[in-house]
């Protein structure tokens, strides 16, 4: 076992069960690298996209109101199907995300699925047909969540 404290690492947690070491820079301060900052930023963006599905119950009221304002004959019950479609679609795409991340670069899969999801949701904001919105939004989030969630693991 290497002596990590002599190689520039400092022991942070002093319990015997979990010894965590952080790298000490030459100046004695902890060094935050660009790679670490991008990792935190990317994780935040992935969870922002994936977690937006959980707020659908709150958003659906406003989206139904918007389509009602446009003169469409919509009810709240029409929008209840969105979250189950997202979950079912994502469930079937979890293995696909794992397969693609092993076959190709995982960062590329995360980037492309994030761009796909963001672009589709952005395009959905211009749709005037509520049924088309429900279908496109559900599929975009299901595909994006299915590919991103398993790839990030």
pLDDT tens across 88-143, in order? 998 999 898 888 888 888 888 888 888 888 888 889 889 999 999 999 999 988 88
Q: What pLDDT score was predicted for residue 18?
A: 46
Q: What pLDDT score was predicted for residue 28?
A: 52
Q: What pLDDT score was predicted for residue 26?
A: 52
Q: What pLDDT score was predicted for residue 20?
A: 45
Q: What pLDDT score was predicted for residue 21?
A: 45
Q: What pLDDT score was predicted for residue 7?
A: 53
24, pLDDT greater than 80: no
| Averaged pLDDT of the chain | 78
Where does residue 115 fall: left (phi above 0), alpha (psi -120 to 50 degrees), or beta otherwise? alpha
Neighbours of 84 (CB within 10 A): 11
Torsion angle (degrees, nearest 10) of CA 111, 116, 119, 125:
-130
| Residues facing 127 on adjacent strands | none
Q: CA 97, 99, 105 angle in degrees (round to 5)?
A: 80
Of the pLDDT bands very low, low, confident and very high (cuts 50, 70, 90), residue 31 is low
Q: Which of residues 25 and 112 earns the better pLDDT score?
A: 112
Distance CA 136, CA 143 (A): 10
Q: What pLDDT score was predicted for residue 148?
A: 84
Q: Where are the beta strands (DSSP E) in 37-116?
A: none
The pTM of this model reads 0.68
**β 21-23/9-11 pair status:** antiparallel
């Amino acid at each position: 076992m290497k002596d990590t404290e002599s190689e520039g690492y400092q022991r942070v947690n002093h319990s015997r069960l979990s010894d965590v070491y952080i790298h000490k820079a030459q100046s004695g301060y902890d060094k935050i690298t660009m790679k670490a900052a991008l990792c935190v930023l990317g994780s935040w963006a992935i969870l922002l996209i994936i977690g937006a599905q959980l707020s659908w119950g709150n958003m659906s009221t406003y989206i139904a109101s918007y389509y009602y304002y446009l003169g469409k004959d919509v009810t709240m019950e029409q929008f209840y199907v969105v979250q189950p479609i997202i979950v079912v679609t994502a469930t079937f795409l979890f293995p696909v995300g794992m397969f693609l991340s092993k076959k190709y670069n995982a960062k590329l899969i995360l980037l492309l699925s994030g761009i796909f999801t963001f672009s589709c949701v952005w395009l959905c904001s211009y749709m005037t047909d509520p049924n088309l919105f429900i279908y496109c939004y559900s599929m975009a989030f299901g595909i994006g969540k299915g590919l991103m969630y398993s790839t990030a693991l």
